[in-house]
Structure 1
Amino acid sequence: MGSDPSPARIIFGGSPDFAVPCLAALADSRHDVVAVLTQPDRPAGRGRKLSAGPVKQFAIARGIDVLQPTTLSEAATQDALRTLRPDLMLIVAYGLLLPPAVLEIPRAGCINVHASLLPRWRGAAPIQAAILAGDEVSGVSIMRMEAGLDTGPVYATRKLTIAATETADSLHDRLAALGAELLTEVLDGILAGTVVATPQNHDAANYAGRISKTDAVIDWHRSANQIDRQVRAYRSWPVAETLLDGKRTRCWAAAPVRESASLDEPSGAPGRVIGVASDGIDVMTGDGVLRLTEIQMPGKQRMAAAQFANGYPVDGKLLGQ
């Protein structure tokens, strides 16, 4: 990360696994990670025991002090951050709001690695939003944080191409690695003031709001391409779902098909199963046919849709009710 002999004192803030590659790059650099901010432990697993998140686990393994406040608005927490005398705060998918008083603590300010090409897809779920919209390009942005949501000037961006079959999981991993790569290249320049931030075009901004479970419910009146993107965008959570014989059925994988397994010209009400192919179940949509290739019934394991159809007659059934 450059040849400046003076290492910076950096506080890192992040919580999920998306943030780990950036923290790893920082920990391997010449700079001093004086503390890691991460969200409080949360219940996980069948026993619902408190579990440390990925960033905390990494920090502990590397011997970095961990702070887990429930909010950054309290004076005591802000005083604790000031005593660390940070030159910079680096935030990657932290999940807590940084009030103005915190933004002013580091000498060189606070920067954020964001999983989109700002100003497109500001907000909480840019990866899913890019897939849902059918974007062909995504990337990462490193910006200077300010009071607005992802509105700060941008130091650097890096693009990648979204594959036609990209899922949120695969794009997440690629962007996480790309963010760490870009951070490694520009961090010293940001600290030295030689990398200058450019204001965003706020008129071109759009937002990716938080995802809810209801977003995953399939509307079969939409096109096959739209539903395919929905399945790929929500593959890790909350997972696209529909009703089969009144049972909530998860749809883990699907693809639009040009030639249906139906013996006739594809037709029927949206949601109607019109045939079973060797690799899936063909469902009529509002525009085109979608082939479900991996599904999961309640209380059952995920399985190939064609295998499921061998033991559970689905031809002619209407999904979504």
Structure 2
Amino acid sequence: MKIVFIGTPDYVVPILQLLHKKFRENNNSESGVVAVLTQTPKPSGRDKKISYSAVDTWAYTHKIPIYFNPLDIIKDNVKADVGVLASYGGLLPKDLITYFPKGILVIHPSLLPQFRWSSPVPAAIITNTNPTGVSIIKMDDKFDHGPVVTQFKEDVTKDDTYGSLRDRLFEKSAEVLVQMLPAYLSGKINPKAQDDSNASFANMIKKDDAFIPPKILSAALLGKISKTKWPIPFIKVKGAVYNLQPTTYNLSQFIRAMQPWPIAWTTVKIKGEEKKLKILSSTQVPLEPKSDDLQPGTYNLQLNLVQLEGKNPVTWEQFKQGYPKLKLV
């Protein structure tokens, strides 16, 4: 079996490692992962030092050919049975999609057609979609549209962040993939078309998408539900932008869905100046009813760790002590 692996970040390296371990025959470079396609190294940080992707680094260490231009794989006549793509971070030309005899298999962390596109994991947490899962599909010329080869489900835990759930989904998908590949390549699996009528979408997250309106946050800190509408622009369900009810539970989910990036944030007014405040972690705390507008069993949102722009992270209590006249704006 010959495979070209297509991916970039560190959390897909377990897939690459297992493919290499399972299908490299007697250390023969003509079997297993015969090449990788990853993003081009780019300057990073203040010193503009060249940064290599995790897949690039792993392939270099294991002396596997590395490609940055998809068409160079065709140009060099790389021989492989199938491509495997996981979080590549770019579009592939049609010529490469049809180049491999068994096509390109895409590992997508949702139960397609649910949450197509770039941000399915945070979308699952925000919308309380449980279980979520992973789909392995055969790529066609539309984004996350190809027929499903196999799927598996995975529960979302109460403590899951975007990062923890994403890492677990990709790690488990590695085992599913290596078990399924021989049957797929021998023609024993018939991929099934997705039901486009049930498709929902989770576009690439921007930093502004992580904003929590101050009125919503202020209410949640008191165990109340704000009447302010809270659209989540990167999620679309049934053709419309998803609106999140601003309950304490949903805010807690949202904050975890923004970890480790882009990090939930709001705005505060300090000495008359508006500042950005990152919310690094939070919990829900049971609140005894003290007025008619609080029902038994109500929770308030408790912020644990925050970071004011230009400052180091501190606890919420430390922050309030440092800025006693704090106002959410």
* Equivalent residues of 1:86, 1:105 under 8 A apart: no
| Structure-2 residue corresponding to 1:298 | 309
How many residues in Structure 1 have an aligned counterpart in Structure 2? Answer: 285
| Structure-2 residue corresponding to 1:112 | 106
| Structure-2 residue corresponding to 1:283 | none
The CA deviation at 1:191 is 1.1
* Equivalent residues of 1:87, 1:108 under 8 A apart: yes
| Structure-2 residue corresponding to 1:231 | 255
* Equivalent residues of 2:74, 2:99 under 8 A apart: no
The CA deviation at 1:133 is 0.7
What CA distance in whole angstroms lies between the structure 2 residues aligned with 1:100 and 1:67?
A: 17
The CA deviation at 1:266 is 9.3
The CA deviation at 1:124 is 0.4
The CA deviation at 1:307 is 2.9
The CA deviation at 1:309 is 2.6
* Equivalent residues of 2:117, 2:144 under 8 A apart: yes
Q: CA 1:170 to 1:266, structure 2 compared with 1: closer, same or farther past 3 Å?
A: farther
The CA deviation at 1:224 is 2.1
What CA distance in whole angstroms lies between the structure 1 residues aligned with 2:268 and 2:57?
A: 40
| Structure-2 residue corresponding to 1:281 | none
Query: One-letter code of the match for 1:232?
Result: R
- For 1:254, which of 282, 287, 308 is the aligned residue? 282
**1:164-313 to 2 correspondence within 5 Å?**
164-219=158-213, 220=216, 221=228, 222-245=246-269, 246-259=274-287, 265=291, 289-313=300-324
Q: CA 1:267 to 1:244, structure 2 compared with 1: closer, same or farther past 3 Å?
A: farther
Q: CA 1:101 to 1:288, structure 2 compared with 1: closer, same or farther past 3 Å?
A: same
The CA deviation at 1:267 is 7.4
What CA distance in whole angstroms lies between the structure 1 residues aligned with 2:160 and 2:191?
A: 31
The CA deviation at 1:85 is 1.8
What CA distance in whole angstroms lies between the structure 1 residues aligned with 2:292 and 2:41?
A: 50
| Structure-2 residue corresponding to 1:58 | 58
| Structure-2 residue corresponding to 1:80 | 75
Deviations 1:16-35 (A, max 9, x none): 12221111111112242111
Q: CA 1:243 to 1:267, structure 2 compared with 1: closer, same or farther past 3 Å?
A: farther
What CA distance in whole angstroms lies between the structure 2 residues aligned with 1:290 and 1:47?
A: 40
**1:34-53 to 2 correspondence within 5 Å?**
34-53=34-53
Most deviating of 230-239 and 305-314 = 305-314
Query: One-letter code of the match for 1:24?
Result: Q
* Equivalent residues of 1:266, 1:289 under 8 A apart: no
If the length of structure 1 is used for normalisation, what is the TM-score? 0.83
The CA deviation at 1:235 is 1.3
- The SS at the match of 2:85 is strand
Query: One-letter code of the match for 1:227?
Result: L
What CA distance in whole angstroms lies between the structure 2 residues aligned with 1:111 and 1:141?
A: 10
* Equivalent residues of 1:249, 1:296 under 8 A apart: yes
Deviations 1:126-162 (A, max 9, x none): 1111011111211111111101111111111111110
Query: One-letter code of the match for 1:318?
Result: K
Query: One-letter code of the match for 2:47?
Result: G
Deviations 1:3-55 (A, max 9, x none): xxxxx221110011222111111111224211100011123233231200111
Deviations 1:59-97 (A, max 9, x none): 11211111112xx4xxx535325x012211111111121
* Equivalent residues of 1:158, 1:178 under 8 A apart: no
Does residue 130 of structure 2 align to residue 136 of structure 1? yes
- The SS at the match of 2:149 is strand
What CA distance in whole angstroms lies between the structure 1 residues aligned with 2:305 and 2:100?
A: 49
What CA distance in whole angstroms lies between the structure 1 residues aligned with 2:290 and 2:153?
A: 44
Q: CA 1:267 to 1:237, structure 2 compared with 1: closer, same or farther past 3 Å?
A: farther
What CA distance in whole angstroms lies between the structure 1 residues aligned with 2:281 and 2:41?
A: 31
Query: One-letter code of the match for 2:308?
Result: M
**Structure 1 unpaired stretches of 5+:** 1-7, 269-286
The CA deviation at 1:196 is 2.2
- The SS at the match of 1:63 is coil
Query: One-letter code of the match for 2:39?
Result: Q
* Equivalent residues of 2:8, 2:56 under 8 A apart: yes
The CA deviation at 1:204 is 1.2
Query: Alignment RMSD, CA only?
Result: 2.1
What CA distance in whole angstroms lies between the structure 2 residues aligned with 1:44 and 1:267?
A: 51
